[in-house]
């Protein structure tokens, strides 16, 4: 039975998979030669159908993605003292900050020919009806031109928090590069960050107003100048707009790419024999690659895939690399021209015998990788550089086969050299395995944009000065707890202190801590069950604790039973190099507590994605090795 199928497909014994693939494509070549019309029309029709969706307007853009945990309305500006003093909270530094705040709040926007909108109408308002802002900046704004700004600000210059009357002010997100005194007062701060919060987007008008205000904000920051100070601004959409701007920079290169590829392809398809020359084949190869780009992109856009201007790099790589197929077919076609073969036989042999031409592959791949290497995207530029060197060295190694077959072969006949070579190879494998296990997966945001762009500089400044503290992680307890039992209280408080006190975390807020203090202030303990429900209700209704009402879900029949509850943990030392360690530590401690729940912070999504990349990469390697075997 086996020999029957081998003879049917024209294979040779001993049978191997490569022969089967070669035979399959040889039969396909015969079909193409006999019925060429469908193979000419189908690509054209598919391209024409896909071209209908070949517009970014049919794709889902980054602006349409709604992440509730990200603040679309937050914008901020960072002022860094670059003088020898390196103190942004000096008298001159605070005056600069007050002046900048005044300029920003003076922004007026006008859309749809309506009246001008002032800052007071577009800002996010607190419960008191005032624009939400840090108390320090409110005090700076009220300072007269002749007054001493520093004397007004001194009561707020403490780190990490300042106590002003009954108000505790968090300064970790405001000051960076801190030098403190013994009483936690700030002696020096190299950077100061000034946030502005726009109102939430609830309508199309709000969206347009916020965008118009952000554009005016960025323009004012770009035009501002304060001697000795660097000014950096960022908004939620800055990164997407920067990628869009840099993507448009690639468009002029597309014409030169096509021109170079057309000339190179046509010349390489020509010979001194005019009958053997196939210049049209090179041109058609480019048309085929262009069809592939249009078809693939049109299908993705039609399926509402997210569109970023980074995809502008795709034609540079796809069109260049796809031309390889033209030269592979041409090489095989010429190889079958010496015999007395019919057209069908030549096409069959040509399609079946397509093999890699190292010279053409090196040239075309080198061209595509060179184009990618001059793009302003570091993430794209690094990969083509590596691939280009790999291709070139593969080509060089193929040229050195004769050297390896003579000199190196004679040297390896020596036993000592063979033992040394094996040890060297084992050392290489061990080093490579160590590197793969410890490699840092993930994409740095700074690699998506040029290093000298305003957004890249702002990201670097944030990483340098404001990574000591970052946001809050939410810990959601999904295990029902009876707060009337002392063991449940101990478990919850133990979990909170375990999560809140570490190298990467500090105290946030937990309603149970405040409730225990509330009970102590009334000289009551939780063992007094008959008073428990009344005190719990009184606690959540008090003005100081009303904010905790959404952190618990009480059982309607038994108010001492809580189905869900939430606590928040402040994250510390959250630079990019610590993201994985931070997430692993908090999740491990939650698991060790045996309390059912989970931890959420947007940062952890990136960590999970990077871990998934590692897992998927290992699976792909195993599958690839299995297929090759």
The model's pLDDT over 113-129, given as tens digits with 9 standing for 90+, comes to: 767 888 888 898 887 88
Partnered with residue 197 across adjacent β-strands are 74
Cβ neighbour number for residue 68 with a 10 Å cutoff? 6
In Å, how far are 71, 171, 215, 235 from 122, measured between CA atoms? 15, 25, 14, 15
Hunting for tokens 């995207």 — which residue is that?
Answer: 377
Paired tokens of 48 = 């024409």
More confident residue, 348 or 229: 229
In eight-state DSSP terms, residue 407 is: I
Bridge pairing between strands 481-482 and 229-235: unpaired
Question: CB count, 10 Å around CB of 433?
Answer: 10
Judge contact between 229 and 93, C-beta under 8 A: yes
Going from the N-terminus, what domains does the chain have, and what CATH number goes with each?
A: 35-55+245-399 (no CATH), 74-235 (no CATH), 467-604 (3.30.70)
The 10s digit of each residue's pLDDT in 556-568 is 776 667 888 999 9
pLDDT score at 332: 67
- The conformational region for residue 83 under phi > 0 = left, psi -120 to 50 = alpha, else beta, is beta
Tell me the pLDDT band of 475, cut-offs 50, 70 and 90: very high
Share of the chain above pLDDT 70, in %: 63
Question: Measured between alpha carbons, how far is 153 from 155 in angstroms, rounded to an integer?
Answer: 6
Question: Rounded to the nearest 5°, which phi and psi values hold at 257?
Answer: -60, -50
**CA–CA separation, 389 and 373 (whole Å):** 12
Greater confidence (84 vs 325) lies with 84
Asked whether the predicted pLDDT for residue 81 surpasses 90, the reply is yes
Q: Taking residues 142-157, what's their average pLDDT?
A: 77
Phi and psi, residue 9, nearest 5°: -90, 5
0.75 exceeded by the pTM? no
Strands 306-307 and 60-61: parallel
What's the rounded Cα separation, in Å, for the pair 287 and 300?
20
Q: How many helices (H) and strands (E) does the chain have?
A: 25, 14
Q: Please count the CA atoms within 13 angstroms of the CA of 93 that sit on its side-chain side.
A: 26
Q: What is the DSSP string of 296-326?
A: HHHHHHHTT-EE-GGGGGHHHHHHHHHTHHH
Q: Are strands 167-170 and 161-164 parallel, antiparallel or unpaired?
A: antiparallel
466 φ, ψ (degrees, to nearest 5): -125, 30
CB within 8 Å of 337: residues ≥ 6 apart: 276, 346
Residue 224 burial (CB < 10 Å; 0-12/13-18/19+)? middle
* CA–CA gap between residue 253 and residue 376 (Å, rounded): 12
Q: What pLDDT does residue 443 have?
A: 60
Q: Which tens digit of pLDDT belongs to each residue from 433-447?
A: 777 666 666 566 666
- Find all residues with CB under 8 Å of 260, minimum gap 6, and list them: 367
Tokens of 145: 């031109």
Q: Which has more confidence, 556 or 217? A: 217
Query: What backbone torsions phi and psi does residue 473 show, to the nearest 5 degrees?
Result: -95, 135
Q: For residue 142, what are its two tokens?
A: 């009220």
d(CA 199, CA 109): 14
The SS3 call for residue 72 is coil
Q: How far is CA 16 from the centre of its chain?
A: 44
pLDDT in tens, 295-327: 767 776 677 665 555 555 556 556 655 566 666
pLDDT value, residue 217? 92
Q: Which residue has the higher pLDDT, 390 or 532?
A: 532
Q: Which of 262-266, 274-278, 282-286, 414-418 has the highest mean pLDDT?
A: 414-418
pLDDT band at 486 (very low <50, low <70, confident <90, very high): confident
Is 250:313 a contact under the CB 8 Å cutoff? yes
The pLDDT of residue 482 is above 50? yes
Q: What's the pLDDT tens digit per position in 158-193?
A: 998 898 887 888 898 899 999 999 999 999 999 999
Query: pLDDT category, 19, cuts 50, 70, 90?
Result: low
- pLDDT band for position 358 (50/70/90)? very low
Q: Tell me, what DSSP letter sits at residue 226?
A: -
3-state secondary structure of 132: coil
Cα–Cα dist 436/538, whole Å: 57
Three-state DSSP state, 188: strand
Give the three-class secondary structure for 150: helix
Tell me the pLDDT band of 56, cut-offs 50, 70 and 90. Answer: low
Could you report the per-residue pLDDT of 319-357, keeping only the tens digit for each?
A: 655 566 666 666 666 666 666 777 677 666 665 566 434
Coil/strand/helix, residue 76 = strand
CB 304 within 8 A of CB 59: yes
| Rounded Cα–Cα distance for residues 491 and 496 (Å) | 9
Tell me if residue 475 falls in helix, strand or coil. strand
User: Is the peptide bond preceding residue 160 cis, with omega within 30 degrees of 0?
Assistant: yes
Residue 195 neighbours by CB under 8 Å, 6+ apart: 74, 75, 76, 133, 134, 173
Q: Using an 8 Å Cβ cutoff, are 128 and 60 in contact?
A: no
Helix (H) / strand (E) containing 351: helix 343-352
Close Cβ partners of 316 (under 8 Å, ≥ 6 residues apart):
250, 253, 254, 257, 368, 371, 372, 375
Mean pLDDT of the 26-33 span: 74
pLDDT mean across residues, the chain: 75
Higher pLDDT among residues 466 and 619, named by residue: 466
pLDDT, residue 66, reads: 42
In this structure, what are the phi and psi dihedrals at residue 509, rounded to the nearest 5 degrees?
-150, 140
Contact 325, 269 (CB under 8 A): no
Scan for tokens 């015998």, then name that residue. Answer: 353
Please report the pLDDT score of residue 194 as a whole number: 93
């Amino acid at each position: 039975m086996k020999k029957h199928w081998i003879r049917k497909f024209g294979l040779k014994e001993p049978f191997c998979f490569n022969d089967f693939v070669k035979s399959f494509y040889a039969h396909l070549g015969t079909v193409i030669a006999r019925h060429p019309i469908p193979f000419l029309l189908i690509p054209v029709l598919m391209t024409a159908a896909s071209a209908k969706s070949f517009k970014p307007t049919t794709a889902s853009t980054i602006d349409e993605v709604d992440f509730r945990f990200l603040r679309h309305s937050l914008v901020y500006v960072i002022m860094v003292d670059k003088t020898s003093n390196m103190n942004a909270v000096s008298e001159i530094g605070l005056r600069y900050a007050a002046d900048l705040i005044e300029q920003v709040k003076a922004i007026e926007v006008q859309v749809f020919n309506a009246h001008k909108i002032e800052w007071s109408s577009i800002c996010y308002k607190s419960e008191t009806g005032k624009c939400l802002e840090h108390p320090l900046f409110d005090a700076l704004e009220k300072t007269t031109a002749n007054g001493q700004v520093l004397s007004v600000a001194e009561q707020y210059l403490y780190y990490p928090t300042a106590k002003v009357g009954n108000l505790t002010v968090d300064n970790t997100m405001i000051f960076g590069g801190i030098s403190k005194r013994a009483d936690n007062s700030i002696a020096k701060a190299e950077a100061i960050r000034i946030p502005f919060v726009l109102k939430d987007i609830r309508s199309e008008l709000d969206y347009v107003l916020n965008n118009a205000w952000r554009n005016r904000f960025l323009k004012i920051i770009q035009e501002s100048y304060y001697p000795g100070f660097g000014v950096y601004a960022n908004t939620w959409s800055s990164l997407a707009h920067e990628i869009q701007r840099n993507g448009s920079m690639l468009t002029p290169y597309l014409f030169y790419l096509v021109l170079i590829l057309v000339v190179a392809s046509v010349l390489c398809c020509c010979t001194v024999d005019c009958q053997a020359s196939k210049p049209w084949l090179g041109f058609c190869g480019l048309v085929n690659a262009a069809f592939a780009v249009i078809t693939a992109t049109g299908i993705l856009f039609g399926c509402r895939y997210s569109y970023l201007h980074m995809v502008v790099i795709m034609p540079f790589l796809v069109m260049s690399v796809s031309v390889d197929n033209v030269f592979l077919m041409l090489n095989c076609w010429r190889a079958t021209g010496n015999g007395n073969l019919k057209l069908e036989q030549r096409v069959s042999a040509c399609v079946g015998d397509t093999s890699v031409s190292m010279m053409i592959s090196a040239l075309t791949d080198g061209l595509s990788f060179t184009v990618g290497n001059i793009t302003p995207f570091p993430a794209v530029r690094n990969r083509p550089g590596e691939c280009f060197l790999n291709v070139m060295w593969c080509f060089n190694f193929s040229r050195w086969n004769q050297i390896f077959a003579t000199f190196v072969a004679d040297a390896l006949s020596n036993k000592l050299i063979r033992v040394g070579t094996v040890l060297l190879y084992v050392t290489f494998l061990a080093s490579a395995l160590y590197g793969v296990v410890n490699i840092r997966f993930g994409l740095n945001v700074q690699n998506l944009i040029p290093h000298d762009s305003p957004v890249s500089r702002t990201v670097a400044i944030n990483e340098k000065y404001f990574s000591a503290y970052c946001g809050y992680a939410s810990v959601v307890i999904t295990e029902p707890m009876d707060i009337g039992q002392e063991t449940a209280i101990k478990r919850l408080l133990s979990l909170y202190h375990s999560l809140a006190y570490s190298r990467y975390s500090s105290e946030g807020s937990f309603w149970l801590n405040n409730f225990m203090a509330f009970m102590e202030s009334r000289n009551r303990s939780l063992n007094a069950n008959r008073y428990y429900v009344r005190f719990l209700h009184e606690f959540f209704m008090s003005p100081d604790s009303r904010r905790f009402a959404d952190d618990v879900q009480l059982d309607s029949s038994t108010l001492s039973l809580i189905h869900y509850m939430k606590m928040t943990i402040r994250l510390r030392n959250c630079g990019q190099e610590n993201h994985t360690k931070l997430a692993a530590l908090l999740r491990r401690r939650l698991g060790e507590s045996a309390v059912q729940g989970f931890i959420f912070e947007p940062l952890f999504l990136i960590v999970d994605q990077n871990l998934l990349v590692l897992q998927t990469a290992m699976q792909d390697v195993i599958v690839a090795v299995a297929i090759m075997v």
